[in-house]
Amino acid sequence: MTMTDDPLLSIRNLQTYFHTDDGVVKAVDGVSFDVDRGETVCIVGESGSGKSVTSESITQLIPIPPGEIVGGEVYFDGEDVTELSTGELQELRGGRIGHVFQNPQGALNPVYTVGYQIREAIDAHHDLSKAEARQRAIRLLEDVGIPEAATRIDDYPHEFSGGMKQRVVIAIALACEPDLLIADEPTTALDVTIEAQILDLLRDLQDEYDMSIVFITHDLGVVAEIADRVVVMYAGKVMETGSVEDIFENSAHPYTEALLECLPGQSNLEPIPGTLPSATDPPDGCRFHDRCEYATEECRVGDQPALSEIEDGHGVSCVHWQRGSDGLPEPTDVRGPVRSTGGER
Amino acid sequence: MKAYIAKRIAWTFFATWVTLTITFLLLDFSPISAAGAEFVDQQVQQGMDADEARELYQEQLGHGDTAWERYTNFMVGLATFDWGWSSMYSQPVVDVIANSWIYSFQYVFPATVLSVILGFAIGLYSATHQYTKEDYAATLFAFTGISLPNFWFAIMLILIFATMLGWLPTYYSTDVALLSLENAKQLILPVIVLSTAAIASEMRYARAESLEYVHAEFVKTARAKGLSENQVTIRHIFRPAMVPLITILVGDILGLLFAGGYVIEVIFQIPGLGLVSYEAIIQQDTPLVLATVLIPVFIAIIGNLVQDICYTILDPRIDFGDR
Amino acid sequence: MSTETHTDGTRDGHDEITFEDVDWEEFDGGLEWTRTRVAAYLTMGGIALAWLLDSLYGSRRDPLVDYQFGPVEFAPNPGNVEWLFTLTLAVLFFYCLVPLYQNPRRTKHYWKEFKKNKAAVASLVFLVFIFLVAVFGPFIVGRPELDLANAYQPPVFYSYVPGLEGGTWEHPFGTMQSGEDILQTVVIGARVSMMVGLIGCLMIVVLASAVGTTAAYFGGLVDEVLMRFVDIMLTFPTFFLILFVVYLYGGDLFTIILILGLTTWTATSRLVRSEALQRNEEQYIDAAKNVGASERWIITRHLVPNVSNTIITAATLAIPSLILYEAVLAFLGFGDPNVWSWGRVISEGRGDLQNAWWIATIPGVFLFLTVLAFNFLGDALRDALDPRHE
Amino acid sequence: MSTQRTLLEVRDLEKHFSMTRGVLKDEIGRVKAVDGISFEIAEGETFGIVGESGCGKSTAARTILRLEDPTDGTVRFDGQDITEYDSTELKRFRREAQMIFQDPDSSFDPRMSVGESLAEPLIVHGMTDRERRRSIIEKLLVRVGLQADDIDRYPHEFSGGQKQRIGLARALVLNPRLLVADEPVSALDVSVQAEILELMEDLQDEFGLSILLISHNLGVVRHICDRVGVMYLGELVEVGPTEELFSDPEHPYTRALISAIPSADLSDRGDRVRLKGDVPDPSDPPRGCRFHTRCPEVVPPEGYDLEQRTWRSLLDFTQRVEEGMDLEAVYDLLHPEEALEDRDVPERLPTSDVEAALRSEYDLADDIGDPDADAVFERAVERLASGDPEDARETLASEFTTVCRRATPELERVGPDHRTACHLADGHQQLDGRPADTDGPEADRLDRPAE
């Protein structure tokens, strides 16, 4: 494969809907972003923002039905993945794109040894002898930092701790030396000290395997730790995208600012009032408008504003994106008693 | 693991002992047991020699004057395969069983194999294609299957295929050789009746258990590895679902098949264990009734043991320390 | 104690009280005797007393009362089964219908979940119909009687030979070989099936919850012994256990129902135990403990209501198998020879398939549909009541 | 705050769970979930307990409220020992101390409406007046940011954050003086977390509550607590005022924990103290200081001159041998390619191969810097290779010994209100206890606390 300047992964206007009894849930509703070779892109958002669905739509891991990719393109290395046949998709999954999931307790099948589960990933893409595959599996376990890999390879998942299981899951994802690793909240279920170990490991492996990482998380602390670029999602839409410095030091979207302000551990905590809008019947205009302190009439009509490029690589989806220059609208008070709309269950 | 299996075997013996003791108590307290003493009188009245009748009574399982004597006789008799005398057949009970089991086996076995294969396959398909038309059809079939009273279903099949269409015989005939096409033909309806309920039941279990895993994280992991859908289904949905399914095979399906077989033999007049038992009940031939009831119990107990051992092989997580 | 007061808008006297003003020393605990509870105890006690009096002093031949309203004759002479059935209906009324009525909001929620399942709604309608037929039908259509002159009447709209006169509305479902009207046997059979299903179900509920919660609550050796016993009972293939016990002790419908109840509760008790253990781990149990609730409060207010979903579902799913067991016994000729059970009618029709197909077919259709409806209903209840489903 | 009267005083609290097997319930071990913790909470104060999962913090909270009976120790509430309370006194105590729970989904009976759930404490404590209960609850719902007509709704109709508000209302309805909050926000989204934390602070101010907050999230603890205790494997390793503890952590575990928090500050990314390995099994905690198996600053043995990192590796190796490293395990290291079923382990293995394998496994250089230590290591390797792990174990145990393994550190005062349980903080260990050789990025950080 030749290295080009094209992004490795380019998602264009992706729309993934779920058909449920209560109506169509627009989990991902027109999301676009790029991932360059060798870089780490974090998708950050609260639960219900569509960040996991976005990541699982890349190789169509979402359950279809009820899920459906209704529109948009996903270019991986220049090729539109949404057009691929099932066989080609399977070639891609685990081959050039590896996946790590949130819950290491559930991500490994309890009835097989970890060695079997790693070999399975190797065998799906390579024609190796049993001994060769085993040796490769041991090397992978060593790479992800499991001590005495040769002994542990024949153990069952329940004999590993949570952190160790997550290492095994990473080893599976790396089995065929992918170009892209998609990690969906890989550290959320882990303790902080273990989380730190896994983040270190991912950073080391990224250099070693020379891959891009799409990292999904709700934790801005983790984002600051690992991201090169950041995509901030809210209610199925991209609110802001930019380099990690853009987001943390020069954030332009009110939602990003609000997220940063409600991180516990800092002196002045500012909660975001209100609740997530309904996923089946999202509001007109900017999805964030009814919780936004800068919202004006323009924010409540039409569609989500297009991503406007503030500076190179820093886009923001806000009516008032130029507010830095032409002055802010007055913050309106949206705080009050929390309405128990009971939208989510 | 060896210690675990040894423990299970010990438990099996204990369970057998408890079961037999309960059986004895049920028997000993029943009005039928009291009638046992009248047995000799009855036989004499029917023209049998008094000594011969008394000798025949000695052959009965669990005779004796005190409860303890009856109990020990009962247990020793069972353990030594001296299961008493069938007055109906004028044969030792063991011989009656030996002559009739093959008639039951010849259709129960194919029905079992058929139901396990079809039941699991349909259930697995249904689970992996949840909310599709095929799934709804399979579920409807399953509900129908478990709700059909088997005796009525058998009669309805006879009405249609034997009485109205005349394609298949109404009753089972012992005149044909066991391994003949004729025999196979007269077993078609029994096998259909027996396996319908079993397929439906297994399908429901297989579907429910597989559904537990269809959305499991490790299934997603398996898919993300690039495995094909068939590989994912077999290795990562069916294989873990096997673990709980093993337990229903013995517990529920065995009981279903035996109970179904009983009724089917009565309806089709197949001279297997079920029909023997039925006639023994009608004729009040207690030793034979006891034997034909205990045989399924023994099979179930052994089945349970086999099931536990399978479990240790299928599920690496099992805690050998307890239970 | 904090003495802060809050001056929110006051509408009436009560509104002035906020939680921090309460002087707790003036309160102590006590059990609330609600009107429903008193009514329930009185009704059930009354039925039990009447049953006792009837079996002590009642006459076997003469009915308790004898009224004639046109075609309807009300002359009950209840046997043990009938008394037990009445008691079961009272329990059903006070512990299922009354709570549903008293909590309209929750009832509405359950109904919303339940009615998603169209088959289950249809089943419910059908079962309510069968239930009404079972309870009131025999007084309206009467009981089947020997009528040799009308033997082998075909059902209405059917005739032996096309063109010839067929069945009449006199006997819409036709008659049997001895002239008994099949409609009447179907109605009586519905009553038998409902009695078997509901009484047996109640027995399962009582036995299974008693054993299951005892095992879960006491744990240790009690748990071990009870559950091992259940294990052994479960090994015994139920059908043969029932067959054997009926062979040894069987006879009338009352005994058969008792036997069915006593042999089929085990699986449910295991389920109740594991469910109770699971619920016991829930944080709301801790929350109740933490406000100082007594063990009895926790068991009656939290544990039992939350396990009851499981019990109700399991018991509903046990009804069809109870009905089928009774039908099979009756079919084999081991049932109550004085009762026109559906199974018995099918058995009678077995020999007349050639010339009178309707005898075996029609009761079978009702048996099949009733069992099917209960299965659908149980399945839908599981979906609607399962807390994991929310 | 600490000048105020003490409301809760916990002394040497222990809670052990016994693990049993079989019908006769033979005890086969004990999980020392809480193993002798002491702290106090003043009126109006917020005290936080932080620690990783399995450290016993939730058990501590439950034991303090007597939802579990303590194995040993005392809990004094307002001067009275609640562990001695009979059921009447305990019921009265329940009014004074309330709890909110971690999981908003499981902490409400799904079959009870919000009103019924909130009325439960009132009914249990004898308030039979239905109207009065209702009016109290309606008011309270408004006070926690919901609406009075939410009273008839069911828990599933609310979002996680709203349920946690109701949880707060339930805890407040008896007007307690102490509120125990077990991970009150960890199941919530960050934006909702902030709301709940703010509400807790408001209510605390309004009603003068003392709060015991249990959390794994140092950010939450730092935000809301006046003082903090750090728990590790059932013990408190450090207790101090929040700001002091965060700015000047004394215990290496606290340092590692603080350092591990991913912060939104871009300046210090990738530059942190890392703990190796997992938390040990609480049923068999390490002897001495429980943290020594993972401690990046473990005190080196007397008479050896070792770099901290080398010493850590040697100690890891020693621990592994003690757990029972047999010839088979060594063989697997040498021959990773052979499957378990067809390996054929000889009587002894070539010492040089074993040594090389172990050096690479434990990241030890060919020259570990101290000839004596090297000799001990080589001797142990030789014993392992010749199939005598027992001898290797003894050699290592007698030579590579540290005060962290020998002795259990006590909570010692290191500031006016700041205590820590670490040998490094012991007066006499302060000088020679700290690793002398402090080069390399990890060692560098020892004297410069993170943050």
Q: What is the pLDDT of residues A110-122, one digit of tens each?
A: 889 999 999 999 9
- Residue-wise pLDDT for C219-241, tens only, equals 778 888 898 889 888 888 888 88
CA distance D218 to C49: 66
Closest CA to D151 of D139, D164, D138, D136: D138
Q: Cis check for the bond before A66: say yes or no (omega within 30 of 0).
A: yes
pLDDT of B57 reads 58
Question: Domain spanning B98-318 has what CATH number?
Answer: 1.10.3720.10
- The total number of residues written for chain A in this structure: 345
Q: What's the rounded Cα separation, in Å, for the pair D290 and D253?
A: 10
Which chain C residues contact residue D152 at CB under 8 A? 105
Is C9 inside any structural domain? no
Q: Which residues are within 8 A (CB) of D213 and not within 5 positions of it... i.e. 6 or more apart? A: D46, D47, D48, D49, D181, D184, D220, D221, D224, D225
Q: How far is Cα C341 from Cα D379, in angstroms, rounded to an integer?
A: 87
Degrees (nearest 5) of the Cα angle C188, C193, C198?
125
CA–CA separation, D415 and C11 (whole Å): 55
pLDDT tens track for A174-192: 988 899 999 998 888 888 8
* DSSP assignments along C328-339, one per residue: HHHHHT-S-TTS
Q: CA D63, CA D32: separation in Å to the nearest integer?
A: 13
Asked if D382 is an interface residue toward chain A (Cβ–Cβ < 8 A), one would say: no
Nearest to C18 among D111, D136, D152 (CB): D136
Query: What tens digit of pLDDT does each residue of D13-63 get?
Result: 988 888 776 655 667 778 888 888 899 999 989 999 998 888 888 899 999
B38 pLDDT tier (thresholds 50, 70, 90) = low
Q: Please report whether residue A163 resides in a domain.
A: yes
- Phi, psi at B270, each rounded to 5°: -85, 125
- Whether pLDDT at D428 is above 70: no
CB D217 within 8 A of CB D186: yes
Predicted confidence band of residue D433 (pLDDT cuts 50, 70, 90): very low
Helix (H, G, I), strand (E, B) or coil at B191: helix
Domain range for A160: 100-175
- Give residue D424's pLDDT: 82
Which D residues, 250 through 279, put their C-beta within 8 Å of a C-beta on chain C?
none
Chains A–D, number of C-beta pairs less than 8 Å apart: 169
In this complex, do D124 and C297 lie within 8 Å of one another by their Cβ atoms? Answer: yes
Of D189, D198, D336, the CB nearest to A46: D189
pLDDT at B214: 87
Question: Half-sphere exposure of residue D10, counting CA atoms within 13 Å on the CB side?
Answer: 26
Q: What percent of chain A has pLDDT over 90?
A: 15
- Mean pLDDT, chain B, integer: 83
In degrees and rounded to multiples of 5, residue C154 shows phi and psi of: -75, 160
Q: Which of C26, C283, C297, C299 to mutate to test the interface with D (most CBs of D within 10 A)?
A: C283
C33 or D83, higher pLDDT: D83
Q: Which of C240, C215, C243, C244 is nearest to C230 (CA)?
A: C215
Give residue-wise pLDDT tens across range D240-279: 999 999 888 888 899 888 888 777 777 766 666 778 778 8
What does the pLDDT read at residue B63? 66
Contact D106 C282 (CB under 8 A): yes
Distance CA A254, CA A329 (A): 12
Closest Cα partner for A90 from A14, A171, A176?
A176
Provide the β-strand partners of residue A12.
A73
Low pLDDT (below 70) residues in chain A: 1-5, 264-268, 322-345
- Measured between CB atoms, which of A225, A258, A338 is closest to D269? A225
Residue C335 lies in a domain: yes
Between residues C168 and A304, the one the model is more confident about: A304
Task: Give the per-residue pLDDT at C372.
Answer: 94
Q: Confirm or reject contact between D135 and chain C (CB < 8 A).
A: yes
How far is B322 from chain D, CA to nearest CA, in Å? Answer: 6
Would you say residue C292 lies in a domain?
Answer: yes
Q: Average pLDDT for residues D176-205, to the nearest whole number?
A: 88
C-beta separation of D126 from C30 below 8 A:
yes
**How far is it, in rounded angstroms, from Cα C178 to Cα C170?**
16
CB pairs under 8 A between B and C: 112
- Give tens-digit pLDDT for B153-183: 999 998 888 888 888 888 887 778 778 888 8
User: At residue B51, does pLDDT exceed 70?
Assistant: no
Report which of C278, C279, C272, C257 is spatially closest to residue C226, judged by C-alpha positions: C272
Point out which residues pair with A147 in neighbouring strands.
none
Tens of pLDDT, residue by residue over C53-109, are 887 776 666 666 666 666 666 666 677 888 888 888 888 888 888 888 887 877 887
Domain annotation covers residue A282: no
Give the model's pLDDT for residue D314: 85
Q: Would you state the pLDDT for residue C174?
A: 78
C301: domain CATH number is: 1.10.3720.10
Please tell me the distance in Å from B323's CA to the nearest CA on chain D. Answer: 7
User: How far is residue D230 CA from its own chain's centroid?
Assistant: 6
Q: Report yes or no on C315 lying in a domain.
A: yes
Q: Which residues of A touch D192 (CB under 8 A)?
A: 271
Nearest alpha carbon to residue D230 among A266, A193, A188: A193
What is the residue-wise DSSP string for B103-143? HHHHHHHHHHHHHHHHHHHHHHHHHHTTTSHHHHHHHHHHH
- Could you give the percent of chain D with pLDDT greater than 90? 13
Q: Are D96 and D125 in contact (CB under 8 A)?
A: no
Say whether C257 sits in a helix, a strand or coil: helix
Separation in Å, CA D372 to CA A151, C113, D158, D397, D436:
31, 75, 67, 15, 17
Dist CA B300 CA A124 (whole Å): 42
Inter-residue contact D168 to D211 (CB < 8 Å): no
- pLDDT at residue D436 tops 50: no
Nearest CA in chain C to D105: C283
CA distance A90 to B228: 7
| Residue C199 belongs to domain spanning | 81-144+181-385
Q: Is the pLDDT of residue D435 over 70?
A: no
Nearest to C309 by CA among C383, C198, C206, C377: C383
pLDDT of B320 strictly over 50: no
Query: Domain boundaries in chain B?
Result: 2-93, 98-318
Measured CA distances, A254 to A230, A258, B95, B298 (Å): 15, 6, 89, 73
CB contact under 8 A, C332 and B278: yes
Query: How many structural domains is chain C composed of?
Result: 1
Instruction: Report residue A107 as tokens.
Output: 């991500």
pLDDT at D449: 38
Asked if D186 has any chain C CB less than 8 Å from its own CB, the reply is no
Chains meeting C at 3+ CB pairs closer than 8 A? B, D
Both tokens of A14, joined, read: 């992706």
Residue pointed to by tokens 């398996």: B222
Decide if A162 is inside a domain. Answer: yes
pLDDT at site A339 = 41
For chain D, domains (ranges, CATH) are 6-20+29-225 (3.40.50.300), 308-401 (no CATH)
Going across the sheet that includes A67-76, the strands are A23-35, A9-20, A67-76, A79-80
Q: Are A144 and A160 in contact (CB under 8 A)?
A: no
Alpha helices in chain C (DSSP H): 35-57, 80-92, 98-102, 104-114, 118-141, 182-218, 220-235, 238-249, 253-264, 266-280, 283-290, 295-297, 304-332, 342-350, 357-385
Question: Are the beta carbons of D306 and D369 closer than 8 angstroms?
Answer: yes
Rounded Cα distance between C365 and C369, Å, is 6
